[in-house]
Amino acid sequence: MELTVGAVLDGKVKSITNFGAFISLPEDKTGLVHISEVANTYVSDIRQHLTEGQDVKVVVLNLDNGKVNLSIKRLEANKREDRPARTAPRPARTAPTPPPAPKTADQLFEEKLKQFMSESDSKISSIRQYSDHRTRSRRR
C-alpha cells in the first residue's frame, strides 16, 4: 500500500514523547503525530490523550524524505462536518450596539454641576452635625 497525502490509516501508538507520538503504520512504516495535531484543544500533556499500544485512526499530512507526518485532530474535524444539521435553529445574532454618542458641552456641565452639588450637600451636612454637637455641649 502506497502512502499518499490525505490517506486515512489505522495505526497503533508505538511510543510517546513530549513533542508527539510515533505511530506504527501498515507495511512496517512509522509516522509522527505532533502534539499540536492530537486534539482540537490545547494539549499540554500528550499522555492525557494517548497511551502506548492504543489503536488510532490517522490522516497523512505530509511525506518528507521518508518522514510521515500524521494528524488525529483533522479526522475529528471531518467527523464534525459529516454530522447532521441541528434540528433546533440557532438563536439569531443581534447586531452589536453602537457606542453612545459623545456628550455635548451642556451635558458635561450638568453632570459636573450635579457632582459638585452632591459633594457640597455632603460637606454642609457634616459641618451642621459638628456645629450642632458643639452647641449642645455648651448648653449643658
Q: What is the pLDDT of residues 70-129, one digit of tens each?
A: 999 888 766 655 555 555 666 667 777 777 778 888 888 888 999 999 889 888 888 887
Contact call for residues 68 and 42 (beta carbons, < 8 A): no
> Is residue 58 one of the residues assigned to a domain?
yes
> Is residue 1 one of the residues assigned to a domain?
no
> Is residue 71 one of the residues assigned to a domain?
yes
H/E segment holding residue 69: strand 67-71
> Is residue 113 one of the residues assigned to a domain?
yes
pTM of the predicted protein model:
0.54
Q: Which domain holds residue 18?
A: 8-82
Q: Quick one: 22 and 76 in the same domain?
A: yes
How confident is the model at residue 34, as a pLDDT?
Answer: 92
* pLDDT for residue 13 is more than 60: yes
> Is residue 92 one of the residues assigned to a domain?
no
How confident is the model at residue 57, as a pLDDT?
Answer: 92
Confidence of residue 138 (pLDDT cuts 50, 70, 90): low
H/E segment holding residue 105: helix 105-139
Tell me which of 133 and 28 has the higher pLDDT.
Answer: 28
Contact call for residues 38 and 72 (beta carbons, < 8 A): yes
Q: Whole-angstrom Cα distance, residue 20 to residue 47?
A: 9
Gyration radius of the chain's alpha carbons: 35
Q: Quick one: 53 and 112 in the same domain?
A: no
How confident is the model at residue 81, as a pLDDT?
Answer: 56
The whole-number average pLDDT for the span 27-49 is 89
Q: Quick one: 19 and 72 in the same domain?
A: yes
Contact call for residues 22 and 12 (beta carbons, < 8 A): no
Average of per-residue pLDDT values in the chain? 82
Instruction: Check the CA dihedral 118-120-121-126 and report its sign.
Output: positive
Confidence of residue 135 (pLDDT cuts 50, 70, 90): low
> Is residue 87 one of the residues assigned to a domain?
no
Q: Quick one: 68 and 26 in the same domain?
A: yes
> Is residue 89 one of the residues assigned to a domain?
no
How confident is the model at residue 75, as a pLDDT?
Answer: 83
Total domain count, the chain: 2
Q: Quick one: 115 and 67 in the same domain?
A: no
Q: Quick one: 45 and 106 in the same domain?
A: no
CATH code at 46?
2.40.50.140
The whole-number average pLDDT for the span 59-63 is 89
Q: Whole-angstrom Cα distance, residue 119 to residue 112?
A: 11
How confident is the model at residue 55, as a pLDDT?
Answer: 92
> Is residue 50 one of the residues assigned to a domain?
yes
Q: Quick one: 74 and 119 in the same domain?
A: no
